[in-house]
Amino acid sequence: MPHTLTIHELTTQLAARQLTAREATQACLDRITAVDENLNAFISHDAQDALAQAAAADAAIANGASHDEQPLLGVPIAIKDVIAVKNQPLTCGSKILGDFISPYEATVIGKLRDAGATIFGRLNMDEFAMGSSTENSAFGPARNPWDQERISGGSSGGSAVAVAVDECIAALGSDTGGSIRQPAAHCGCVGLKPTYGRVSRFGLVAYASSLDQIGTLTKDTRDAATMLNVISGHDPRDSTSIQRDVPDYASGFGENLKGLKIGLPREYQAAGLDPEVRDSVDAAIKQLGELGAEVREISLPHTEYAVATYYIIATAEASANLARFEGVRYGARVEGSDPESMNRATRGAGFGEEVKRRIILGTYVLSSGYYDAYYLRAQKVRTLIREDFLKAFEEVDIIASPTSPTAAFKIGEKAGDPLQMYLSDIYTISANLASICGISVPCGFTSGNLPIGLQLLGRPFGEGKILQAAHTYEQATDWHTKRPTIN
């Protein structure tokens, strides 16, 4: 069935005329109709527009267009609702943007179009990407396809669900502290966070500008490499975009990992790590060793400060970035007797509780008398965390860890305890603070049949190494082929 294929399987069939792009897109749309009412992965989608794009792809293939030149020609790709697509809704999972339609397009969307992709659908997410469960969405939670009473992860929960249940062939997400990798682990797919500056952020609605990065959710690592090749590259419209050549990320794929050095941080064997997660990750690391990698223990001594540092810096940047949503320039508006009361009423009604919590916290740490004690100190600790990683990468090529300390927890289980929710990101946030790359790949299941993820972290612009290791591991196992049964 077309919707169950990977990118490389689908493009092979499209090129051989065994399948049409329209058939592949229709299969994804039919799958959404069949299962999404219960899963809530999509906020919206335009079937007519998607089929028109697919028809154009079929015409291009008939006229001799090549997948060598357009590697995503005819491939249906869905988009997290924080990335701008021209003439499509852009809500960021929030009420405050109302029925806002984007007047412009993100750079990554232009790159997908140039590669021939069929772009459709707005995927569910935690409001303004603030959350680890997609429970904070104004449109309701995206439910885990392995157990619909459990979270999908966040903030890119809708993206992970859509890929895991074959509602699209691949998806884009964003990762500020683990928002691609953690839902990928919880839903059993591959989530890739590139190095900060590798992929343009132009057209990504900002949560925390020094941490946000657009990335991919795919069915396997070869697809992740293909997607990363398409969306990477310098963009003059993004001042944080790095001018650096884009390699062929699949060129290093091989049958073994001989000579690769993998580090295991002793600080990551912390209390709170579920025994079943530990066992699966340990087995995966043992497998990497059997494939030729050299595994050794390393230290990341400032790990204990990562969560606190992240939630000071991220909320401070969020409080500044979200000031633009005031009911004047765009989005929803609640009328008031004067501009100040209108602004207060609009933000009070439009923002959800978690977004308000983070805005308040961020405003506090930036306020007079507290800036030095909190924000400035957090920036200094961030530098120490980054130096920990750079020092570790002098000894090893890759750092391995669990993606999340537990498998997916039940919806509502941590809703009343924000601190416990924040600790769900303990293994992922350091990569964003250090501006390095990371990938999560499936590595097992709990006794309750919930997916577990292995995280591989690489040095800045080391995506090729982590993709190589992930792909080699994938070829020796079948965890990535498992799909949930949806009734």
pLDDT confidence of residue 272: 83
By the 8 A CB rule, do 389 and 433 touch? no
Model confidence pLDDT, tens digit, residues 266-307: 999 876 899 999 999 999 999 999 999 999 999 999 999 999
165: tokens are: 């249940």
Checking if the pLDDT of 69 tops 90, the result is: yes
Strands across the sheet containing 451-458:
42-44, 118-123, 76-80, 170-174, 214-218, 190-193, 437-445, 451-458, 398-402, 261-265, 294-298
By the 8 A CB rule, do 93 and 351 touch? no
376 DSSP assignment: I
Catalytic residue among 132, 152, 179, 404: 179
Task: Name, in order, each residue with C-beta under 8 angstroms of 376's C-beta and a sequence gap of 6 or more.
Answer: none
- Domains of the chain and CATH, by start: 2-262+394-481 (3.90.1300.10)
The closest alpha carbon to 315, from 194, 418, 215, 238, belongs to: 418
The closest alpha carbon to 206, from 364, 324, 306, 120, belongs to: 324
Amino acid letter, residue 159: S
pLDDT confidence of residue 487: 63
pLDDT confidence of residue 486: 83
Model confidence pLDDT, tens digit, residues 364-377: 999 988 999 999 99
- Antiparallel, parallel or unpaired: β 261-265 and 294-298: parallel
pLDDT confidence of residue 422: 87
> Does residue 155 carry a catalytic annotation?
yes
> Does residue 356 carry a catalytic annotation?
no
Phi-psi region of 275 (alpha: psi -120 to 50; beta: other; left: phi over 0): alpha
Among the listed ranges 21-35, 124-138, 334-348, which one has the minimum average pLDDT value? 334-348
> Does residue 179 carry a catalytic annotation?
yes
Catalytic residue among 132, 155, 156, 159: 155
Query: What's the rounded Cα separation, in Å, for the pair 165 and 187?
Result: 9
Query: What's the rounded Cα separation, in Å, for the pair 203 and 207?
Result: 12
DSSP 235-269: -TT-TT--------TTTT--S--TT-EEEEEGGGS
The closest alpha carbon to 172, from 130, 116, 221, 112, belongs to: 112
- Residue 76 β-bridge partners: 118
Given pLDDT bands bounded at 50, 70 and 90, which one contains residue 257?
very high
Q: What is the distance, to the nearest Å, from the Cα of residue 223 to the centroid of all Cα atoms in its chain?
A: 15
The closest alpha carbon to 156, from 93, 198, 90, belongs to: 93
CA distances from 136 to 152, 310, 360 (A): 12, 19, 17
Residue/partner pairs of 244-253 with CB below 8 Å, 24 or more apart: 244/198, 244/461, 247/464, 249/225, 249/463, 249/464, 249/467, 250/222, 250/225, 250/226, 250/467, 250/471, 251/464, 252/464, 252/465, 252/467, 252/468, 253/222, 253/225, 253/467, 253/468, 253/471, 253/472
Q: How many CB atoms lie within 10 A of CB 350?
A: 23
Query: What's the rounded Cα separation, in Å, for the pair 143 and 219?
Result: 18
Query: What's the rounded Cα separation, in Å, for the pair 459 and 20?
Result: 40
CA distances from 477 to 168, 288, 441 (A): 24, 11, 11
By the 8 A CB rule, do 135 and 141 touch? yes
Average pLDDT of every residue of the chain: 96
- Residue 453 β-bridge partners: 442
DSSP 103-134: SS--HHHHHHHHTT-EEEEEE--SGGG--SSS
284 DSSP assignment: H
Catalytic residue among 80, 111, 193, 414: 80
pLDDT confidence of residue 237: 97
Percentage of residues of the chain with pLDDT beyond 70: 100
**What is the arithmetic mean of pLDDT over 27-39?**
98
By the 8 A CB rule, do 116 and 73 touch? yes
pLDDT confidence of residue 327: 87
Residue 465 belongs to what H/E stretch? helix 463-476
Model confidence pLDDT, tens digit, residues 411-461: 999 988 888 888 889 999 999 999 999 999 999 999 999 999 999 999 999
